[in-house]
Amino acid sequence: MKLPTPLGIAWVVLAIFLAACSGPQVPRETAGGAAPTRTGPKQITLAILDEPSTLSQAINTAGTGSRRGVGEAEKMFHAGLTAMNGEGVLTPQLAEAVPSLENGKWKVLADGRMETSWRIRDRVAWHDGAPLTTADLVFTTDVVRDRDIAISSHPAYTAIDTVTAVDDRTITATWKQPLISADQLFSYEAALPLPNHLLQQTYREEKATFLELPYWTTEFVGTGPFKLSEFVRGSHMILRANEAYALGRPKLDEIAIRFIPDPNTVIANLLANEVDMTLGRGISLTQALDTDVLWDNGIGDASPSNWVAHYVQQLSPNPPVLKDVRFRQALVHGMNREQISNELEEGIAPIAHTLLYVNAPEYRQVESQIVKYDYDPRKAAQLLEQLGYMKRPDGFYYDTAGQQLVIESRTNAGDDLKEKILLASNDGWRQIGIGVNTVIVPRQQASDREYRATNPGMDLVRQPFDPLRFHSREIPNPEVQWRGDNRTRYGSPEFDSLIDRYFTTIQGSGRTQVLGQLVRHLSEALPALGTIYPAEPILISERLVNVGAVRGQPLVGAADETWNVHLWDAK
């Protein structure tokens, strides 16, 4: 069943033109308006709306802005001891079992510390043939915990006391304190294993060049279901089946991933059957709905994703009133988020009242503790007047010294939806009398950590549920070379304590209670102003099997794309 949406012939003409001008091509057996008949090796072609600067998601997310599609692609050619399936359940991947209290591989000790252990499956190897051993896991721990290396750090790596290789296949971690995500160590969620035999020498002798090695791009060696065969900058990469993959040889023989930054060009290639699927974010819901109407050989899949929010500078804001929670409340009351959802997301994107993922099972349990702010320009005006601002005949607010109230509101270039949300928010604030300087940060400047950390006003970002991004130890400053994930630079001992308690409370009901306190604090203090949970569509050819949406279903449902890539198949 196709989703009805009006679309003109001009769009189709444009799509055909764009497909003809879509840049470097990865060879396909045939092209044209009908799905081609294929013989020989099973091959599919995917497209990401970016070009990876690294093939490691831990590195990709450690900087000031991540490239789209890297995380989804990494799961294709790399693997961890465990993996999260489409239902959010941690399952064994390269390990024989997930540590648990039931199987004895997770122990809570009498003194409050913990112990977890994993055993690597028999004959697990890196793509170059070297065996995966516990020496690789110890090395991974050293690198991820090294503050001189810009690699994303999961709370597991700060809570570890020691990691001990019992033998080549068995490793034990002891923990300084309880941690709810201890079983995610050495997984995609907490940084995947690193090959000791390929990286140790550079790490020990030339650490400054460690992240510049070709290993991270053109010479990547992983442990996943597919091997990197070719990486052509500005064009594509080719993956080929790993015959020795721990969970069995993939059903597909080859996957081509094309780098196409323009969403219209991606859609044109889908309609021309040159691309079978999109990978990672970048396609808007409207584009997906329009494509769903035109594309007889494919279907869309989407669900609400991580929140998009204005992260408000709390350490060095200009104007200083940004530190006053009443002003941030006025800003939230001045955003017509329902209208933003209606105009940009067909009305299906829920309002993001908190960082917590709206579809998370815990959301309903703690929703009553979330402080929600409706669109209310009158309330916004009252708060601004309480702060001493007066509106002049030009429609804008001024302080008692006659200085106009102006804030800077920015986001990184390259994400069309974020830019539209930014412009809509800024327009709402201007309508209530707040002056706004809109800044779209170029991709090159977005990688400047100091520039991002010291923004004077607000930075609109898309982030997952990760309370640690508001912990004071994650505040970027000169002493840590501007590294750290706390984009608001918000520091609160009370909130730090709640975050620490959340990650160290093992018992489920107790953890939910702390989560409720955590979301309440976040919605009361408002270091970040949530907008919406936008849908993350993917578009999938009907020739693909075991991937995302099922033919005939509407654009709803989970869209975790690549966790089961070894089971993908093609008709």
pLDDT tens by residue, 520-536: 999 999 999 999 999 88
Question: Please, which pLDDT band fits residue 365 given cuts at 50, 70 and 90?
Answer: very high
pLDDT in the model for residue 26: 52
Distances 38 to 70, 467, 502 between C-alpha atoms, Å:
28, 48, 52
30 or 153, which is more confident: 153
Mean pLDDT over the full length of the chain: 88
Architecture (CATH level 2) of domain 307-532: Roll (3.10)
Check if the beta carbon of residue 267 is closer than 8 Å to that of residue 49.
no
pLDDT (average), residues 404-431: 94
Highest mean pLDDT among 91-105, 499-513, 552-566: 91-105
For residue 64, what pLDDT band results from cuts at 50, 70 and 90?
low
The predicted model gives 493-514 an average pLDDT of 88
Does residue 262 contact residue 414 with C-beta atoms inside 8 Å? no
pLDDT for residue 37? 53
How much is the pLDDT for 15?
A: 41
Q: What is the mean pLDDT of residues 195-206?
A: 96
Q: Is the pLDDT of residue 555 over 50?
A: no
Say which amino acid occupies 338.
Answer: E
Q: pLDDT higher for 33 or 507?
A: 507
Q: Residue 281 has what pLDDT?
A: 79
Res 560: pLDDT: 54
What mean pLDDT comes out for the span 7-21?
A: 38
The pLDDT, as a whole number, for residue 513 is 94
Q: Is the pLDDT of residue 543 over 90?
A: yes
Q: pLDDT at residue 491 above 90? A: yes
Q: How many Cα atoms sit within 13 Å of 341 on the Cβ side?
A: 19
Q: Which of 154-163, 257-266, 392-401 has the lowest mean pLDDT?
A: 154-163
Each residue's pLDDT tens digit, 76-86: 999 999 998 87
The Cα–Cα gap between 157 and 128 comes to: 27
Domain covering 82-197, topology: Dipeptide-binding Protein; domain 1 (3.90.76)
**Whole-Å CA distances, 358 to 198, 362, 367, 535:** 41, 9, 9, 11
Read off the pLDDT band of 301 (50, 70, 90): confident
Tell how strand 390-391 and strand 397-398 pair up.
antiparallel
Q: What type of residue sits at position 223?
A: T
Residues 552/515, Cβ–Cβ less than 8 Å: no
pLDDT of residue 553: 43
Chain mean position to CA 369: 26
CATH architecture of 9-31+40-77+224-297: 3-Layer(aba) Sandwich (3.40)
| CA–CA separation, 25 and 37 (whole Å) | 19
Predicted confidence at residue 13, as pLDDT, reads 35
Domains of the chain, residue spans: 9-31+40-77+224-297, 82-197, 307-532
At 330 the pLDDT is 98
Please give the average per-residue pLDDT across 298-317, as a whole number: 89
